[in-house]
Chain A
Amino acid sequence: MLSIFEPLAIIGRVVMAALAELGRLSKFTAEAVKNIFLPPFYWRLILKQMLHIGYYSLPVVGLTALFTGAALAQQIFVGGSRFNAESVVPGVVVIAIVRELGPVLGGLMVAGRVSSAMAAELGTMRVTEQIDALTTLSTDPFKYLVVPRLIASVFTLPLLVLVANVIGVLGGYLIGTERLGLNAGAYLKVTVDFLEQADVISSLVKAAVFGFFIALMGSYYGYHSSGGAQGVGKATTNAVVGAFITILLANLIITIVVFGT
């Protein structure tokens, strides 16, 4: 028997569930941030995570940047040639890469790799009671598992994005000089002239913020997963989706704040 209130009830339940989730996430975030500043610090684990997040992400992030920079140069050249403005290619490429595409695409690629891996690892630890076991061995699972991932991610992402920016510009340079016949020396000079300090700083700040969300989403969904293999699978998916959405939203907000005026 469907009553006319049934749709309202469904909407109510969905909203309540979403609010509850948001509440849990906020609590988790507050707890995580607080613990970042409290000893003990597990340096070895932080370094291990940095290696996992940074070093092993280099190929995928580098290739993404290279192809994107190259495609961008090609597009801008074609678009610009309608107004005889092929010379804007280096400037637009460097701005687009450093301000937006380097951090965003880099962040998304790392989120795909890392958030999912974190959620799967912590999720498995949760459902096999390894997280409970940590607690009984006088070790705070928050400090031991979540905090090292957060710290490592926040510090590694800027380094990765720096590399992505350089490789992205290189991709544009290669297409510009090898295929589109732009002058190599002029290309580099325009690139350097166009780039401002604020661009680089905002790029790195974005990267650090994205790094935070990548580790936060991976840890949160992993830490709170339940219900065996299926639950871990769901946690993994949710972590990636959550990381993507928070990265894109944070990017919009930072862009508006920094460049909006």
Chain B
Amino acid sequence: MKNDTIPMIQLENVTKHFGSKHVLNGVNLSVARGESLVIIGGSGTGKSVTLKCILGLLKADSGTINVDGRDVTLMGKSERKKILSKFGMLFQGAALFDSMKVWENVAFGLIQGQGMDRVSAREIATEKLRRVGLSPDVGDLSPSELSGGMQKRVGLARAIAAEPEIIFFDEPTTGLDPIMADVINDLIVECVTDLGATTLSITHDMASARKIADRIAMIHKGEIIWEGSKAEVDKSDNPYVEQFIHGRADGPIQMEILKP
């Protein structure tokens, strides 16, 4: 059934609104199998909402979302659950289970999702924690005892623990020091090259985007306004992209606060 010509993830005209606020206004996006796509864009432009719509955590108002060639918006609960087992997700706020220890968080998908025994799951969890630069004794702490950056890394370890086919990283390097950020970038690249995973990452950190991306897409006001390979992003004459990657306050993107 594997077909390399079918994109792993394909969004067509996806829209989503909350009340009177239109967050996504027809998002078109496609990620090939084994590709790493990075979405950049200003705060509040709908990046996290896009990921949640793909996962079905939010229900898109209209449009189609194909995962592995099948429209997930039409799926029933049990089918959707099967599809979800292909995914790993790092949430922007880490979203660790605070009633469990750190290692139980990382092992959760293995124990509950795959029915692995606790001893083997713990071994894998400890290994994944090591990969994100956390020592085994951190595993016995509770998430509330960790710093924000450490929580983020535990969330990352949890997202990759079950070695999913598709991994979403929502701002993986936010809140990390530059060195740890680079370690995490390497880890994400490894996930793609070693596991052959398809990844979709959100970041504001251009250094990170350049390192992990095959392709970069820019979202603005709920629409993908630019897409290209990472080499093209620096040469792009799109004023939005230019302003964003150089981090200028003046340009076509007007922050709310600057409006008169």
A interface, CB within 8 angstroms of B: 121, 124-125, 128-130, 132-140, 144
Do B113 and A139 touch (CB < 8 A)? yes
Do B95 and A132 touch (CB < 8 A)? yes
Do A136 and B89 touch (CB < 8 A)? yes
Do B113 and A137 touch (CB < 8 A)? yes
What is the chain B residue whose CB lies nearest that of A144? B112
Provide the main secondary structure of the chain A interface.
helix
Q: Which residues of A contact B57 (CB under 8 A)?
A: 132, 135-136
In the complex, what's the smallest C-beta–C-beta distance from A143 to chain B, in angstroms? Answer: 10
Do A138 and B112 touch (CB < 8 A)? yes
Do A138 and B96 touch (CB < 8 A)? no
A124 CA to B96 CA, complexed, in Å: 12
The interface bits of chain B over 77-104 (1 if a CB of A lies within 8 angstroms of the residue's CB, else 0) are 0000100110111010101111100000
If A138-B81, A138-B85, A140-B81 touch, does A132 touch B91 (CB 8 Å cutoff)? yes
Instruction: Please give 9 more A-B residue pairs, beta carbons under 8 A apart, in addition to A124-B98, A137-B158.
Output: A128-B95, A130-B96, A133-B91, A133-B95, A133-B97, A135-B55, A138-B85, A138-B113, A139-B113
If A135-B84, A138-B81, A138-B85 touch, does A129 touch B95 (CB 8 Å cutoff)? yes
Q: Which residues of B contact A138 (CB under 8 A)?
A: 81, 84-85, 109, 112-114
A121 CA to B88 CA, complexed, in Å: 24
- How many Cβ-Cβ contacts under 8 Å join chain A to chain B? 53
In the complex, what's the smallest C-beta–C-beta distance from B233 to chain A, in angstroms? Answer: 29
What is the chain B residue whose CB lies nearest that of A132? B57
In the complex, what's the smallest C-beta–C-beta distance from B77 to chain A, in angstroms? Answer: 8
The interface bits of chain B over 48-81 (1 if a CB of A lies within 8 angstroms of the residue's CB, else 0) are 0000100111000000000000000000000001
Do B109 and A137 touch (CB < 8 A)? yes
> B244 an interface residue at 8 Å Cβ cutoff?
no
Do A137 and B95 touch (CB < 8 A)? no
What is the chain B residue whose CB lies nearest that of A124? B98
5 A-B pairs within 8 Å (CB atoms) are namely: A128-B93, A132-B52, A132-B91, A135-B57, A140-B81
Q: Which residues of A contact B109 (CB under 8 A)?
A: 137-138
Among candidates A130, A136, A139, residue contacting B55 with C-beta atoms closer than 8 Å: A136
> B169 an interface residue at 8 Å Cβ cutoff?
no
Do A136 and B96 touch (CB < 8 A)? no
A121 CA to B100 CA, complexed, in Å: 13
In the complex, what's the smallest C-beta–C-beta distance from A127 to chain B, in angstroms? Answer: 10
Among candidates A124, A125, A136, A140, residue contacting B87 with C-beta atoms closer than 8 Å: A136
Q: Which residues of A contact B97 (CB under 8 A)?
A: 125, 130, 133-134
Among candidates A121, A128, A137, residue contacting B108 with C-beta atoms closer than 8 Å: A137
Q: Which residues of B contact A128 (CB under 8 A)?
A: 93, 95, 98
If A128-B93, A129-B93 touch, does A136 touch B98 (CB 8 Å cutoff)? no
In the complex, what's the smallest C-beta–C-beta distance from A136 to chain B, in angstroms? Answer: 4
Do A136 and B112 touch (CB < 8 A)? no
